[in-house]
Amino acid sequence: MSRSLDDPAGGEPDESEDLDDPRLAALVEALARGETVDWRQAEFSAGSEAEREQVRALAAISEVATFHRTWLAEGGITGNLDEDEEPDDEIPTHWGELEIIERVGRGSFGDVYKAREPRLDRIVALKLIRASAKTPEREAETLREGRLLAKVRHPNVATVHGAAGADGRVGFWMEFLEGKNLAEILQEKGLFDPREAAEIGIALCRALAAVHAQGIVHRDVKAQNVVRENDGRIVLTDFGVGRDATVLHTEEPSLSGTPLYLAPELFEGKLPSPASDLYALGVLLFHLVTGEFPITGNSFDELKAAHQGRKRRWLKELRKDLPGSFVAALERVLDRDLEKRGDEAGMEKELRRFLGERPLRRKRMRQAFIVAGAVFIFAVGMYVARELRRREALEHLDKAAVLHKEGHLQAAINELNEAKKIDPKNATVYLKLISYQSGLGRYSAALTIAKEADSLCGEFSLPSCLEVKGRLAIQLMDYKGALDNFEKVEKLGKDERILQEIVGLYRNLAQPDQGLPAARELGNIDDPVGAGELALTLSAAGRYPDAKVEVGKFRRRFPAHKYLPWVAGPVAIAAGDEATGENEFRSLATQHNDSEDESNGQLLWAQALMFRFKVDEAKEVLVKSSSLDFQEGFDRNEAIRKILFAKCFAIAGDFRQASLALQPILEQEKIPTNLKLFRNAALIAYSVNDIPLAVRFSKIVSQLAGKYTTSLSRSFDLQLKGELAWRRGNFEEAIKVITEARKERDDPQNSLSLARVYLGQKRCDLALPYLNDVVSRRGLIVDDFYTPWTIWNEAVASEASCRKK
Amino acid sequence: MSSPMDSTRGLFLRARDGDMEAREKLWKKLRERLCRYAHGKLPRRLRSLVETEDVVQNVLARTIRRADVFDPKHSGAFGVNLFTALKHELIDQYRHASRQPVEGETATSLAAQGLSPMEEAIEKEKLDRVITARSRLSDEDQALLNARLDLDLPYGDVALLFAKPSPDAARVAYERAIKRLVAKMVR
């Protein structure tokens, strides 16, 4: 082995190699740099007795160094000997795009700066590794911390805006918290009032639920890591020792976190879990109201012995004035028995009860309770089960994500299938497979995978399982069921992906108003998709001026973003600016290199042209779009294209061509996802008087509705039965059935069908309210990619005709 | 690149033999660093009374005069010895100053009876372990630990004294010395 020139020991074996363990090496480095190290915690974090012994030796050396460094200074003599050594000690003026204002904190290896993000004109906290302290491991660790935090979006968790490397330094930037941590407040103001502590506890329960929902264990919940902002907001921060489940599985169990906050099972070598975070929260609240800790000790062994011997302090003994319900809530989560500890939702409920508040949204709270309980049980199982397989699977997942981004969906699916073989219980793999297969229009495959995943999840209510159930429900066109599952996931923690689903589902359920709160949350996230969803939801809800304002904001924040035409087009058309809408879609159809975008863009452009009665141009666009072949996804768009062709022919009065265009749709897979296609085909077939064809499509819808009973399928089935009854002259039956359909789903198409029946009876007075309903919901109609938007034109024409009469 | 004769050790050996040029070079080389060290450690109240440079020059002259009893075995030994002497000089100055407390300052009694200040500050058993293990290290490791652990010298100075190419290399060498010290302590 070659020996370094710096090695004065010459040819002797180098004993220093014993300390090559990265954790110990980091401690040596910190000592060498004269940085402050929490030696007690380091000792607790050691993985073995030998390692602990080495840490103790380092701590003794550090004491000697500290003595020499401070001894003279204690008499009033100070001096900064390192002033010529830390060139990076100077505060930089910029990092990447950020303008650095001042340094606000200094950690072992990094600095925290107050900075300004000029593009958004907002103040952020920037955490950067010092240039002199950077190592590949530390850089990776910092990025990991940033990414961990970025996974969680919750008002009580510090929001990370980004993590990156720039100007030779790695770091991440997050919201700037104006306030003090709870340890500082405790020191300054003394013990907390139990009500105040309960309010903090509730905020932290919600924060932890959000953290755990992402599969992350915080591992260092303590007073120093919770900030109370000046406006009173409680924020959980510092995920320095946090780990996601993936990393946790591959590591040896070790003690991290402040020892006095550690749960008893951790001293027995068990892995940190959501339950140990909850225990730490209990210790934190205990500490806030008493200034003490339930278990104390001066060393690892003392603390371990205290836990084993159950020598602990009781809240009731330390503060006899505390109300029983508050004490009970805290003592429950401090239980040695993990199962008795319950979960965050349970603790939140108890704390709210103590505060005299009724639990919010009772039903959802109960669901969250069940969910979080199952999360805990499942999570513990997961922690010990997977490990290396998971890491290997993750590599395939990463590759799949890259391929997907590049538009190679089939290759991405192949990678996911590899991941599935290696880790057949990885919910993320299933979720992505469902998404990608749906993206290619392979709904049968997506449905099969969703069912497979759902059976693997069983009754578990882990967020990923809830998401699987949600995705399965979407494949079954059970939007209400999907919404229920996604809302449960969202309750466990804000996630923009889930919020997007919720917003989209409300629009699919023709209830965009109800999706507005979630859309507004999305709009607050600095993300183009979120901004777009808010604009689209406002438009679908008929709030056109607000939608246009949001489009304007989108344009300013994300100019030239490829998602912009997708948002600006429908909003413009819904708001009556059809020419702008048409132009937006034209740009979408012609300016992208992505064949899927281009193909979808052609269809939307054709819709916009039809909407403006430019039928011939629409047909040209549809013909042109037929030549676009984007892998297997062609099937879905080809079917929509046929529907639009048929509609064009129907408008032009060429009924035979319209029927011919619809024929191939009969060959589509008989799966719930294609319900809308069959329904639309049936309606167009009825409109061109091809009753046999319409009946064939209607039967398909009826069969699917019998097999997959959802409000959507029932509504479609009833709607078509009403159409048939009307065609047969049975107006009474038609009105009855379509009214039933309308109760199942408040769909403008149902209103139009009812209006048609009344118009057939020459009852404009009865038709008008329904026509008005359709006319007033232009935004919702334009939001629907599948249904011909011309139903709005028909309603307007009929309404005008009625008014003349 | 400077010749081996111009290394701190080389200059010291030449100065010891009466080479005035070497003595001048040595002074030039170390003056600034010694003064900075002294300025940082010198009691605040003395800074206006004592010229830092005088203290440093006295120490350097005394160290060279004692050269006949001091034989540096490695590159860093002379420098570490010089800084140690300076530190002792400063402690003496401090003790002297603390006997004449200035209003508003608290004089710390450094003339502790029985125990040394370090023994007072650090648990004896722990201190003994460090001291014993240190004595079992190589001379250069001991000097490195002196330089950084006891004298708290910046790595720039350590690099100069130990002929390391950069402060970072000095830090790495010091980290290795610590690791070897730990290895001796845990045996």
Mean pLDDT in consecutive groups of 10 residues from the start of chain B, 187 residues? 58 73 77 77 58 76 63 69 81 62 35 52 79 87 87 84 85 91 88
Residue of B40, B155, B183 lying closest to A79 (CB–CB)? B40
Give the angle A613-A619-A621 at the CA atoms, nearest 5°.
105
Residue pLDDT, tens place only, A418-454: 888 877 777 778 888 887 877 776 777 777 887 787 7
pLDDT score at B67: 57
Catalytic annotation on A88? Answer: no
pLDDT score at B97: 60
Contacts of A34 in chain B (CB under 8 A): 152
As a whole number of angstroms, the distance between CA A723 and CA A737 comes to 9
Q: Do B180 and A65 touch (CB under 8 A)?
A: no
Contacts of A4 in chain B (CB under 8 A): 172, 176
A314 interfaces chain B, CB cutoff of 8 Å: no
Residue pair A33/B105 in contact (Cβ under 8 Å)? The answer is: no
Q: List B residues 92-131 in contact with A (Cβ-Cβ < 8 A).
A: 94, 98, 105-108, 110, 117-118, 121-122, 126-127, 129-130
Residue of A29, A50, A60 lying closest to B126 (CB–CB)? A60
As a whole number of angstroms, the distance between CA B144 and CA A692 comes to 97
Task: Label each residue of A123-150 as H, E or C.
Answer: EEEEEEECHHHCCHHHHHHHHHHHHHHH
| CA A586 to chain centroid | 32
Judged on CB neighbours under 10 Å (0-12, 13-18, 19+), A665 is buried
Confidence class of residue A365 from pLDDT cuts 50, 70 and 90? very low
Q: List B residues 30-49 in contact with A (Cβ-Cβ < 8 A).
A: 36-37, 39-45
Q: What is the largest CA-CA distance in chain A?
A: 108
pLDDT more than 90, % of chain A: 16
The average pLDDT across A277-289 equals: 94
Contacts of B88 in chain A (CB under 8 A): none
Tracing tokens 């540096």 back to the chain, one arrives at B72
A135 has a pLDDT exceeding 70: no
As a whole number of angstroms, the distance between CA A585 and CA A578 comes to 11
List the one residue out of B93, B148, B60, B25 whose CA is nearest residue A64: B148
Residue pair A375/A461 in contact (Cβ under 8 Å)? The answer is: yes
List the one residue out of A643, A652, A584 whose CA is nearest residue A615: A652
B179 interfaces chain A, CB cutoff of 8 Å: yes
ipTM over 0.90: no
B12 interfaces chain A, CB cutoff of 8 Å: no
Q: Which residues pair with A95 in a beta bridge?
A: A98
Residue pLDDT, tens place only, B27-51: 777 777 888 777 766 665 555 555 6
pLDDT score at A407: 64
What DSSP letter does each residue of A651-687 carry, written as one string?
A: HHT-HHHHHHHHGGGGGS--SGGGHHHHHHHHHHHHH
A667 has a pLDDT exceeding 90: no
Residue pair A536/A567 in contact (Cβ under 8 Å)? The answer is: yes
pLDDT score at A10: 37
Residue pLDDT, tens place only, A465-512: 777 778 878 877 888 888 988 887 777 666 677 888 899 899 988 889
List the one residue out of B84, B87, B112 whose CA is nearest residue B98: B112
Residue of A65, A69, A81 lying closest to B37 (CB–CB)? A81
A3 has a pLDDT exceeding 50: no
Q: Do A57 and B150 touch (CB under 8 A)?
A: no
The average pLDDT across A41-68 equals: 82
pLDDT score at A393: 74
When scoring B136, B152, B160, B187 by the number of chain A Cβ atoms within 10 A, the one with the most, hence best to mutate, is: B152
Distances from the Cα of B95 to the Cα of A72, A587, B30, B150, angstroms? 10, 83, 25, 18
A67 interfaces chain B, CB cutoff of 8 Å: yes
Tracing tokens 């509504």 back to the chain, one arrives at A715
Q: Do B40 and A81 touch (CB under 8 A)?
A: yes
Min Cα distance A128 → chain B (Å) is 20
As a whole number of angstroms, the distance between CA A177 and CA A181 comes to 10
Contacts of B149 in chain A (CB under 8 A): 61, 64-65, 68
Confidence class of residue A205 from pLDDT cuts 50, 70 and 90? very high
B149 interfaces chain A, CB cutoff of 8 Å: yes
Give the mean pLDDT of chain A: 78
pLDDT score at A132: 62
When scoring B41, B179, B187 by the number of chain A Cβ atoms within 10 A, the one with the most, hence best to mutate, is: B179
Min Cα distance A92 → chain B (Å) is 21
Handedness of CA A672, A674, A676, A682 (dihedral sign): negative
- Per annotation, catalytic residue among A88, A89, A167, A220: A220
Contacts of B175 in chain A (CB under 8 A): 28-29, 32
Min Cα distance B180 → chain A (Å) is 5
Distances from the Cα of B178 to the Cα of A34, A93, A291, angstroms? 13, 36, 38
The average pLDDT across A230-245 equals: 66
List the one residue out of A706, A709, A658 whose CA is nearest residue A682: A658
Confidence class of residue A256 from pLDDT cuts 50, 70 and 90? very low
List the one residue out of A716, A714, A711, A725 whose CA is nearest residue A697: A716
pLDDT score at A390: 63
By CA distance, what is A68's nearest residue in B? B150
Q: List B residues 47-86 in contact with A (Cβ-Cβ < 8 A).
A: 74
Residue of B90, B122, B168 lying closest to A67 (CB–CB)? B122
A11 interfaces chain B, CB cutoff of 8 Å: no
pLDDT score at A253: 38
pLDDT score at A717: 93
A388 interfaces chain B, CB cutoff of 8 Å: no
